[in-house]
Amino acid sequence: MNYFTFKGQFLFVVFMLLGCTSLFAADKEPSATQAVVTLDHAGTLADKIGENQKYNITSLKIVGEINGDDVALLRDMAGCDRYLFYTNGVLATLDLSEAKIVEGGGAYFERYDMAMSDIQYTKNDEIGESFFFNCSSLKSVSLPTTVKKIDFCAFAVCSNLESVTITEGVTSIGVCAFEFSENIKTVKLPSTVTEIGSRAFYNCKGLESINIPDDVKELGYCCFADCTSLTDFYLPSGITTLGRYALSNCSALKSIRIPSSVTTVEDLAFLSCTGLEAVYVGWTTPLAINTDAFNKVDKDACKLYVPYGTLSAYKASTWGECFTDIVEYDVTGVGKLPAATDVNVVSRYAADGHLLTAPVKGLNIVKYSDGSVRKVVVR
């Protein structure tokens, strides 16, 4: 059984169990208790926070090294223990910016289901697999500055999580890392991130904006699927692949620019992006796609903007089946894209100043109905 298959089965069992354990979740009365704890040695958080305190602390900052024993206690305080049973923990704000995650201590996560088991221990400078999985009390987390990786399901099903501060140095956002954390509104990824795993932000329904760092090359399977509040989204110029269902059902997304670096747009990548009004592309030769890539996008309401001189080629390609309204635009002015509403060419001139009635190969000077004037190179 491969890794992803195993994890998929694990999640299925977990979600079944969540339906049962939630019946035993106790009512919680939030406390105003705040604490700053300095640890001389990893594994000593329990010595600083006693049994009588752990379920009363809503805000905690840790200074020093932490290991598996400490993370297990943090999970307990944040509403879900290492065995995935709900607790009375009310920890909402966790500041680990001056902490360091190290190997050692016991397991922070343990599940045993029939023939399957999943036991997780801390690794140096990693937010490991299922680190805060299902910790429903957490609202805000600041990660250690030394962290390099956020692993599988690290913050998945954190139903009240609103923000995570991720510092420079993190290179990987793992598979399912934040999925089903429906209250996250904004995510700022550091420039060091090069990988965003499949389903990393799946079903983050409250997510309104996120940046994709320049060195990310692929948005994989269901990466941002069902992010129904996502409106602010920009693809970097070096990205190459938009995977199957990558942005499906992002129904609030109004416009998207697909840079010419993209070589693959997989089937159903933009399925049910029903709010799309404008798609901007930069290929001078239309990229080969399947019509399913934009399945259930309103082909009459959404305009496709293509480089000057390519209108006929796009209309004759699969893109012409996906979109009824195809408009040419100045790719060199990509920093100032026309709005989704009509911006028409008022007049066009050659480099020597004489009036043109149609685009002519070479430098054209174009005046638009919004008052702007641009130099356009027609190939």
Topology given in CATH for the domain delimited by 217-342: 3.80.10
Q: Is the pLDDT of residue 26 over 50?
A: no
Question: Is it the case that residue 4 has pLDDT exceeding 70?
Answer: no
Q: Which of 153, 152, 159, 170 is nearest to 96 (CA)?
A: 170
Which pTM value belongs to this model? 0.82
Please determine, for residue 19, whether its predicted confidence score (pLDDT) is greater than 60: no
CATH level 3 topology of 29-199 = 3.80.10
User: What is the average pLDDT value for the chain, to the nearest integer?
Assistant: 88
342 pLDDT more than 70: no
Q: Work out the pLDDT band at 127, boundaries 50, 70, 90.
A: very high
pLDDT given at position 333: 60
Which pLDDT belongs to residue 379?
A: 64
Domain ranges of the chain: 29-199, 217-342, 344-379
Q: What is the mean pLDDT of residues 114-132?
A: 92
pLDDT at residue 116, rounded to an integer: 73
Provide mean pLDDT across the span 287-300.
96
For residues 135-158, give the mean pLDDT. Answer: 98
**Mean pLDDT value of segment 277-290:** 96
Fold match flag (29-199 vs 217-342): yes
Res. 45: pLDDT tops 60: yes
pLDDT at residue 371 in the model: 53
Q: Give me the pLDDT at residue 97, please.
A: 98
Check residue 351 and give its pLDDT.
74
Residue 368 pLDDT grade (very low, low, confident, very high; cuts 50, 70, 90)? low
